[in-house]
Amino acid sequence: MKNAARLMVVLLVAAGFFNSCGDKDNHIEFINSQLFDLMKEVYLWNDQLPDRIDPAAYSSPGVLMEALRYDEIDKWSTVLTAEEYDSYFGAGQMVGHGFMVGLDEEDNFRIAFLYRETQAEAMGVKRGWILSKVNGQTVTEDNFSALMGASRAGITNSMDFINENGVPVQLNLTKEVIDLTPVLHYEVLTRGSDKIGYMVFQDFIETANEELDEVFTSFGTAGINELIIDFRYNGGGSVSVAEHMAGWLIGKDNAGEPFIYYTHNPTFNAMYHMDTMYTVPANIDGLSLDRIFFIGTDNTASASELIIKGMEPYIESVLLAGSTTHGKPVGMYGIPLPLNDNDYEYVTLPVAFEYTNGVHEGGFYNGIEPQIAAADDITRDFGDPKEASLNAVLNYIESNAVSMKSVGPEKALTYIKPSASLGQYLRAF
């Protein structure tokens, strides 16, 4: 995802694609026609699109996008409402309780993460708590979303939890407008003479930069000599935020070096010359480390994978702990629909380019494999040195080798995600 300033370049170009798009009387049909014409120009796999469609045959642009996606590879191209797009990517907000849930190996519903400064956090809810009932009903995979209700401020749910000490806790939690806190947790861990910066980062949205500045400034002040960045549920987002993070990680020693290359479909690039390269931003206050550890899972995608691969040309040792990442070496542009209309109703996000790192490495559609296999231990809070993924990294730092204690998950965990298209980025209810 690109930031708003860069998107304007694409949007101005996109506006030139359509001088006339037909009669606006049938509004959805008109938007569907625009979407199809746009996909023929922008879509990375535009050679896989049909020659023509009947725009009246699709009830919404989202339904049309489902039909147009190149399913052999593309799991991501989507259409959001303008409200969904502007709220998350622009304002950095959501409406809800602000936590994500997953099923542990015994199929207990556990809090996988929760945003800071939410009502749930203020009332003591932590990662690892078991959620057993909502409004008196036992939660299941099939009923959870329905029990949680609509994403509307003011809805109150009665929730039965079991806390980290095995004590039942019943809370009435009211859905609210939440200002997202992309840094879920950070601290400096001490192991012998090592000072280890540990950060859990969730959302590549524009509001994250201020939090990143605070975290990395504190790490620099503390004099850390090791760094762990936990991306385990990070589904990606703004490349400009990834660039900002890269400045903190490698911008002190490698400013101006190639960081990321974009490659578009041949037709689009021949017409508009959009293939480009972005360099590592300078940051004289940045870190200067010989190695960086990352924690990932199948939920780790796109911009978070870009950071992992983007460090490899410049950091002596880049090590991934956890499990194989999602595998999304492509990016999308956000383009409003209808085009040429300030009062747009939808934003389409088609996969528009493939990206590679500074030495042209990419194409990891099967994900990035970890060097340190470890489970996502959702029974323990972030920062707990006994949590399996963090523990695996700490063991490696102490021994400089993969410990026998570092094991992969016995089975893949199930994570419950919102059903909306934004769920590939926003994982909380």
- Looking at the DSSP bridge assignments, the partners of residue 81 are 346
The torsion region of residue 147 among left (phi > 0), alpha (psi -120 to 50) and beta comes to alpha
* Cα distance between residue 244 and residue 239, in whole Å: 9
Say what percent of the chain tops pLDDT 70.
Answer: 92
Q: Is a pLDDT exceeding 50 seen at residue 196?
A: yes
Q: What is the pLDDT of residue 397?
A: 96
- CATH node for 99-179: 2.30.42.10
Q: What is the pLDDT of residue 189?
A: 98
Q: How many CB atoms are located within 10 Å of the residue 401 CB?
A: 10
Residue 14 binned pLDDT confidence (cut-offs 50, 70, 90): very low
Q: What is the pLDDT of residue 94?
A: 95
* Cα distance between residue 30 and residue 23, in whole Å: 7
N residues, the chain: 429
Region 366-376: mean pLDDT is 96
DSSP 233: T
Q: What is the pLDDT of residue 110?
A: 97
Q: What is the pLDDT of residue 326?
A: 97
List, for residues 102-123, the tens digit of each pLDDT value.
999 999 999 999 999 999 999 9
Q: Is a pLDDT exceeding 70 seen at residue 411?
A: no
Contact present, 347 and 319 (Cβ < 8 Å): no
Q: Is a pLDDT exceeding 60 seen at residue 49?
A: yes
Instruction: Give residue limits of the domains in the chain.
Output: 4-91, 99-179, 183-329+353-409
Residue 3 binned pLDDT confidence (cut-offs 50, 70, 90): very low
* Cα distance between residue 389 and residue 376, in whole Å: 6
Say what percent of the chain tops pLDDT 90.
Answer: 86
Of the candidate ranges 63-72, 299-308, 407-416, the one whose mean pLDDT is the lowest: 407-416
List, for residues 231-258, the tens digit of each pLDDT value.
999 999 999 999 999 999 999 999 999 9
Q: Is a pLDDT exceeding 90 seen at residue 406?
A: no
- CATH node for 183-329+353-409: 3.90.226.10
- Strand bridging mode 226-230 / 194-201: parallel
Secondary structure of residue 202 in the 3-state scheme: coil
Residue 402 binned pLDDT confidence (cut-offs 50, 70, 90): confident
Q: What is the pLDDT of residue 419?
A: 72
- Strand bridging mode 346-349 / 78-81: antiparallel
Q: Is a pLDDT exceeding 60 seen at residue 155?
A: yes
List, for residues 373-401, the tens digit of each pLDDT value.
999 999 999 999 999 999 999 999 998 87
Q: What is the pLDDT of residue 422?
A: 84
DSSP labels for 263-278? Answer: EE-HHHHHHH---EEE
Closest by CA position to 357, among listed 274, 272, 242: 242
List, for residues 202-230, the tens digit of each pLDDT value.
999 999 999 999 999 999 999 999 999 99
Torsion angle, alpha carbons of 131, 134, 137, 138, to 10: -20
List, for residues 317-342, the tens digit of each pLDDT value.
999 999 999 999 999 999 999 987 67
The whole model's pTM is what? Answer: 0.92
Q: What is the pLDDT of residue 423?
A: 83
Region 172-201: mean pLDDT is 97
Q: What is the pLDDT of residue 405?
A: 52
* Cα distance between residue 15 and residue 56, in whole Å: 23
